[in-house]
Structure 1
Amino acid sequence: MKKQSIIIIGSTNIDMVIKAPRIPVPGETILGGTFFMNSGGKGANQAVTVARLGGNAVFVSKIGNDIFGKQSLELFQKEGIYTAYMLSDNHHSSGVALITVDEKGENSIVVASGANAHLKPEDIADVIFEDLNIGIMLLQLEIPLDTVQHAVQKASEKNIIVILNPAPARTLSSTILKYVDIITPNATEATHLSGIEVKDMTTAREAALIIQKKGVKNIVITMGEQGALILDSNHLFTEMPVAKVKAVDTTAAGDVFNGALAVALSEQKDLPTAVAFACQAAAISVTRWGAQSSIPYRNELYPEV
């Protein structure tokens, strides 16, 4: 049987990163930082993760007709990502993210969306679903919500599994949520979705139950060093631990988790096994600097899932 593809619909950014002793408070200037640039964007990070972990990645994104956009496209092609349905925008620049990372690896991010904000529903061509063997769709929220809604509805019509990474946190309608098979908020996003302050596994369980009542079948809340909480479609909870590591940069950890989750599910793994695989990949990523530069390859994960 031909291996199913994973379509990732989302953002492409260039990350401009400063490593500083701590994240400044409003009005404060901190000296002594280290600067570097890296390819990023939640959609792009997830697409690269899928490709590096052995999945068939199909990426749909909108980039500017500028040097950043051209560099990004070239990098995706080198990663083995299928880019035939990416779009170039002659009127808006490529997305840019300004990221500050402190000594503990925590980050603060501001994004200028650029062309990402102009990825429209009509940019998601019907031919994608007709020509490619798509089994899973992975989305985030750095693109317009009407585009997300169109994409998840189209996926539902084609019996494609929908994974929604609700980041950055935004208000989501039931029209979107009812088409989502798996939603993967972190603690902050789960708090936004549920109204419950998520700070431990107990409060994560409360939040997951509320989110599930909104129509999502499966909820996976990522809790950083606490691991992840699963509430599945049978209303069963599973707490998934994560390896203890020394984090230096958490910038793309959520994206790596989601890309790895999609790959494991595309290989017919059950949800707990897929989440364990995703936790392992994310744990590796936080020990490295940058977004796409931190994403592991399949042979770095063990034991093989």
Structure 2
Amino acid sequence: MDLVLRCSQFPKPGETVVALSFDEVPGGKGANQAVAAARAGASVAMLGRVGDDAFANRLIRGLSNYEIDCENILVTPDCESGLAMITVDQAGQNSIIAVEGANGRLSPEDVRKHRQVIESSQTVLLQLEIPTKTVLEVIQIARAANVRVILDPAPAPHRCPQKILQVDLICPNEHEAEELTGISLDSPEQILAAGQALYQQGARHVVITLGSRGSFLFDDQGGRLIPALVTDSVDTTAAGDAFAGALAVSWAEQGNLEQAVRFGNAAGAIAASKKGAQPSIGSRQGIECLLESIK
């Protein structure tokens, strides 16, 4: 659950800032991306954990409202659901503190018990709000079943095993790419170097999202920048999740990753133009209309 505080500016250390408003909004990176994929037209199943607190039923009900299969969401006794405290300033930028809660209890054994939902899928979309060993188990099962794996490496890992990067597509934002490679992304040459580094570590395709600068795609054909779509930014909280979910759907349908990145850019732009996480995620029709308007 996202607890969203809106304020005129972020507080400095030791400073108290009076918030302009407060909202409780269903969130979580995996859940946001599931909603984004469903809104983009996919049939989606969610594998994860909630706690046994007051948020749990609201989180599951929120996903069900988007016709997401929640049969593989497990309730964790004596544990809180995942929680994020999000501060959003007037420019739409955000600062997030996350509590993993039940997300941290999703185990490799849980994955093995529910491997059928992975093996029967066309694409698996992963994040790092669950334990690394669980992510690795999903990757192993998916690879054995020839299921495409997309990894959004967030929250940004300080250290992670190289095997976790050996996926069909890794899509970090610029901060996460810097954490993974040690390369600052201040210039086109540095962006290219970061894309190459992630590719050389085993990712078959790399997409680095760069906010208003667009998205950088690197694969065996080299690197190219795909421009962002310009919209008024209100809240960037779910923009990256909207991008990942929409990209996954377009790539699965069309097989053209560059086209899928453009589709994802449009989804991210729509999400950034609205408040909240899941409620801000645009529909397939909205994404297609935005793309059509810039032709």
Instruction: Give TM class, smaller chain.
Output: over 0.9
- 1:176 is aligned, of 152, 164, 173, to 164
TM-score computed with the length of structure 1 as normaliser: 0.91
Q: Is the 8 A contact 2:53 2:79 kept in 1?
A: no
Does structure 1 residue 292 correspond to structure 2 residue 278? Answer: yes
Q: Distance in 2 between matches of 1:126 and 1:33?
A: 45
- In the TM superposition, residue 127 of structure 1 has moved relative to its aligned partner by 4.8
Could you tell which deviates more after superposition, 81-90 or 25-34? 25-34
Structure 1 runs of 4+ with >2 Å offset: 125-133, 199-202, 302-305
Letter in 2 for 1:280: A
Q: Name the SS for the 1:167 alignment partner.
A: coil
Number of aligned residues: 290
Structure 1 position 93 matched with structure 2 position 76 = no
Contact 1:187 1:199 in 2 (8 A): no
CA distance in 2 between counterparts of 1:52 and 1:251 reads: 17
Instruction: Read off the aligned partner of 2:160 and give its amino acid letter.
Output: L
* CA contact 2:119–2:145 (8 Å) conserved in 1: no
Q: Structure 1 residues 293, 78: CA separation in 2 closer, same or farther (over 3 Å shift)?
A: same
State the AA in 2 paired with 1:216: A
- Once the two structures are superposed, the pairs formed by residues 73-112 of structure 1 within 5 Å of their partners are 73-112=60-99
Corresponding residue of 1:11 = none
Aligned partner of residue 148 in structure 1, secondary structure = helix
**Structure 2 CA distance, aligned partners of 1:169 and 1:187?**
10
Structure 2 residue corresponding to 1:202, chosen from 189, 200, 205: 189
Q: Distance in 2 between matches of 1:139 and 1:259?
A: 10
Residue 41 of structure 1 is aligned with which of 13, 28, 32? 28
Q: Of 12, 18, 21, which residue of structure 1 is paired with 2:8?
A: 21
Give the Å deviation of 1:206.
Answer: 1.0
Over the aligned positions, Cα root-mean-square deviation in angstroms equals: 1.5
Q: Kindly indicate whether the alpha-carbon contact (under 8 Å) linking 1:97 and 1:109 is maintained by their aligned counterparts in 2.
A: yes
Match of 1:7 in 2: none
* Residue 279 (structure 1) aligned with residue 265 (structure 2): yes
Query: In the TM superposition, what whole-angstrom CA distance separates every residue of 1:167-199 from its partner, at most 9, and x where no partner exists?
Result: 111122122222x11000111011111111012
| Contact 2:49–2:106 (Cα < 8 Å) also in 1 | yes
Deviations 1:206-248 (A, max 9, x none): 111111111111100000011000001x242121011111101
1:219 to 186, 203, 206: 206
Identity of aligned residues (%): 39
* Post-superposition offset of 1:128: 3.9
Q: Which amino acid aligns with 2:165?
A: L
Give the alignment of 1:23-172 within 5 angstroms: 23-129=10-116, 133-170=120-157, 171-172=159-160
Q: What are the within-5 Å matches in structure 2 for residues 250-261 of structure 1?
A: 250-261=236-247
Q: Which runs of 5+ in 1 are unaligned?
A: 1-13
SS in structure 2 of the partner of residue 302 of structure 1: helix
Confirm or deny: 8 A CA contact 1:49 1:296 kept in the other structure: yes
Partner of 1:5: none
Q: Summarize the Cα distance change of 1:134–1:278 in structure 2 as closer, same or farther, 3 Å threshold.
A: same
Larger mean CA deviation between 214-223 and 121-130 belongs to 121-130
How much has 1:123 moved relative to structure 2?
A: 0.8
CA distance in 2, matches of 1:127, 1:293: 28
Cα contact 2:119–2:141 (8 A) shared by 1: no
Give 5+ residue unaligned stretches, structure 2: none
TM-score between both structures, scaled by the size of structure 2? 0.94
What's the counterpart of residue 186 of structure 1?
173
Do the aligned partners of residues 96 and 274 (structure 1) sit closer, same or farther apart at CA in structure 2, a change above 3 Å counting?
same
Moved more, 41-50 or 235-244: 235-244
1:243 to 2:229 alignment: yes
What is the identity, as a one-letter code, of the residue corresponding to 2:99? A
Q: Given residue 95 of structure 1, which amino acid in structure 2 is its aligned partner?
A: G
Q: Aligned equivalents of 2:131 and 2:118: distance in 1? A: 25
